[in-house]
Structure 1
Amino acid sequence: MDIYYKKRKEHDLMSNLLFSVFPNENFIDLGLYQYGWEQCSPSHSFGPAARNHFVFHYVISGTGRLMADSSDGNTRTFQIKSGQGFMLFPGQVNTYVADKELPWEYTWIEFDGLRAKEMVSLAGLTKDMPVYHAASKEMCRNMMDEMLYIARHSNETPFHLIGHLYLFLDCLTRSAASLKLRQGERIRDFYIKEALSFIEQNFQNDISVEDIAAFCGLNRSYFGKIFRDTLGKPPQEFLMSYRMAKAAELLKLTKLSVRDIGNAVGYPNQLHFSRAFKNIYGISPRDWRSQNGMSY
């Protein structure tokens, strides 16, 4: 836990702050990390720093400033007030400061997973445009309610909280003003959803990028471009990462042999499976299991 979160924990009992760490890392597609609520003191600031995951803040009241690196590496400043929000991106250097006279009250959620970039993209939030604007007040209110529910119910079960994470992301994407997309963007998002659905249902089989593109009715080149533009990595790399994430889940939660797990995620050749796993996690499946597996 970094210094920032240690400080958060030290102040956890204060009446102006709620802060929790999600206790379960077994959720692959979308997972929680940290979440909470805070009534900031005047001029309260954090940064400059970079996070490992996506972090979304929704401003309930007050105002403040976000200074964040854009896609070209230059720092941009955004004034953000109540009813708006801001997304922090993995690896992005940022600083945010509450106003001296009207410090903001906000609630936040840190999340990540294989589907996280897709959801953030659907909301229209990027490093160059990190500020959330609501097109629907009702959906915005629902989104805030979901965030506050998670912040105030840290003792609920992991599955219960993950369910509310999905509801929060549904409200975020549906309420964002940028959802008024051009028709071409709507079609692109449809193809990406179709591709992800195909991968989820067939990752254990011998499928290729050509198979996924053909399922979507697209040529391989165009499919690869829109997939990479939307999810930030080529489809072949995403498919391998998805398979290895599922393999890690099986290594941690089951007693299946490494060979059986390789077969289960589409790698009948154990040597090829071990190489692919090491390429993603840096160590062999056996070593990863010895470090992360559950004790029975």
Structure 2
Amino acid sequence: MHMNPDHYDFTLGINLTPEEQDLSVLFSGEARPYPGHKIGPSVHDFYLIHTVLEGEGLFQSGTFSAECRSGDTFVIFPGALFSYQADQDFPWHYAWVALQGIGVQELLSAVGITREQPFMHSGNVTELHSLYERIRHAFQQSAYPRLESLEASGWARLLLHQFGLGNLSALPLHPAEMPEIIDRQIDQAIRWISLQFHQQISIDHLASSLGYHRVHLSKAFKQRTGFSPKQFLLKKRMDKARQLLGSPLTIEQVASSVGFNDALYFSKQFRKHTGMPPSEYRAGLRSGE
């Protein structure tokens, strides 16, 4: 707990090791300023997000101005001239978090917050308040400041997610502009196969889980990739197998690593795919051919 002479209550948590490059929390706090308390006109070299929990106040940034009430969030961008002031009759109670990183502006834009529109009504105040508290409480000045920093940045991402849920109508991607569902399902199938090729994947089960008949999925998949799902899976496995054959792993270990329980069957498939057995392919790698 840190007291500030301009506030009834004032608490702050500070990150001792803000190292994440895309998004890092610098500090986070919460306060109940006195009536009429004003900050600015000033500039910061970091992003500063405030959410009003209750009460009222006025926020200005450049030519933008907004009267803020419970559930409203305003964002100060680096280099922007800003000021904000608590209402004289019903001064606000707010929480804030300061962020830095090369990915922050893009993340803010993804939830509908820009330099030109640095304000939004952000929805569930109770949930937002809880997330701000979790960010602030991550900084307990323990023996593991880097872990504290990782925890805080994780909660900050969830905070931005909550902003997005409360601001869906302002998000850059509107439902009418979203890709067809089948295209999204094909993307999901491609990602699934690319990440899970080492598992025993059933194309029938994959199609069923996406809500399509195997024939329909296979046709759409081939139109997108040039391969059927089965061919794409085999290609992923063989590409990885060629890579692993340059390592000290045995043929059996390579086979298992790319989803084949039977090393002999793997060898047959590898020879069919590349024109040579795994042992010969490995020998060629070692000889530099």
**Bin of the TM-score, shorter chain as denominator length:** 0.5 to 0.7
**Deviations 1:200-251 (Å, cap 9, x if unpaired)?**
xxxxxxxxxxxxxxxxx9xxxxxxxxxxxxxxxxxxxxxxxxxxxxxxxxxx
2:174 maps to 1:182: yes
The corresponding residue for 1:125 is 113
**What is the distance in 2 between the residues matched to 1:186 and 1:144?**
31
Q: Give, in angstroms, the shift of residue 153 of structure 1.
A: 4.2
Match of 2:23 among 30, 39, 46: 30
Q: Give, in angstroms, the shift of residue 149 of structure 1.
A: 2.0
Confirm or deny: 8 A CA contact 1:33 1:110 kept in the other structure. Answer: yes
Match of 2:79 among 81, 88, 91: 91
**What is the distance in 2 between the residues matched to 1:93 and 1:54?**
12
1:17–1:9 Cα change, 3 Å: closer
The residue type equivalent to 1:173 in the other structure is G
1:149–1:102 Cα change, 3 Å: same
The residue type equivalent to 2:90 in the other structure is L
Confirm or deny: 8 A CA contact 2:11 2:31 kept in the other structure. Answer: yes
The corresponding residue for 1:290 is none
**What is the distance in 2 between the residues matched to 1:175 and 1:88?**
19
Match of 2:36 among 43, 52, 62: 43
**What is the distance in 1 between the residues matched to 2:113 and 2:137?**
26
Match of 2:54 among 35, 40, 61: 61
**What is the distance in 2 between the residues matched to 1:10 and 1:39?**
11
Confirm or deny: 8 A CA contact 2:22 2:101 kept in the other structure. Answer: yes
2:14 maps to 1:21: yes
Match of 1:145 among 126, 130, 135: 130
**What is the distance in 1 between the residues matched to 2:48 and 2:130?**
17
1:44–1:146 Cα change, 3 Å: same
Confirm or deny: 8 A CA contact 1:18 1:152 kept in the other structure. Answer: no
**Deviations 1:4-62 (Å, cap 9, x if unpaired)?**
xxxx97739x7600022211122112101121000111001100111111111000000
**What is the distance in 1 between the residues matched to 2:26 and 2:178?**
30
- Secondary structure at the counterpart of residue 36 of structure 2: coil
Confirm or deny: 8 A CA contact 1:119 1:173 kept in the other structure. Answer: no
The residue type equivalent to 1:144 in the other structure is H
2:91 maps to 1:103: yes
Larger Rg: 2
Match of 2:65 among 77, 82, 91: 77
Identity of aligned residues (%): 23
**What is the distance in 2 between the residues matched to 1:127 and 1:24?**
27
- Secondary structure at the counterpart of residue 42 of structure 1: coil
1:25–1:153 Cα change, 3 Å: closer
Confirm or deny: 8 A CA contact 1:48 1:95 kept in the other structure. Answer: yes
1:86–1:67 Cα change, 3 Å: same
Q: Which stretch shifts more, 100-109 or 170-179?
A: 170-179
Confirm or deny: 8 A CA contact 1:55 1:88 kept in the other structure. Answer: yes
**What is the distance in 1 between the residues matched to 2:176 and 2:52?**
32
Confirm or deny: 8 A CA contact 1:63 1:98 kept in the other structure. Answer: yes
1:146–1:10 Cα change, 3 Å: closer
Confirm or deny: 8 A CA contact 2:49 2:76 kept in the other structure. Answer: yes
**What is the distance in 2 between the residues matched to 1:68 and 1:110?**
16
- Secondary structure at the counterpart of residue 27 of structure 1: coil
Mapping of residues 154-193 of structure 1, within 5 Å: 154-155=139-140, 157-177=148-168, 178-179=170-171, 181-183=173-175
**What is the distance in 1 between the residues matched to 2:40 and 2:178?**
36
The residue type equivalent to 1:182 in the other structure is H
Q: Give, in angstroms, the shift of residue 126 of structure 1.
A: 1.7
- RMSD across aligned positions (CA): 2.9
TM-score by length of 2: 0.54
Q: Give, in angstroms, the shift of residue 127 of structure 1.
A: 2.3
The residue type equivalent to 2:41 in the other structure is P
TM-score by length of 1: 0.53
- Secondary structure at the counterpart of residue 117 of structure 2: coil
The residue type equivalent to 1:40 in the other structure is P
Unaligned runs of at least 5 residues, structure 2: 143-147, 180-186, 188-223, 225-289
Confirm or deny: 8 A CA contact 1:38 1:105 kept in the other structure. Answer: yes
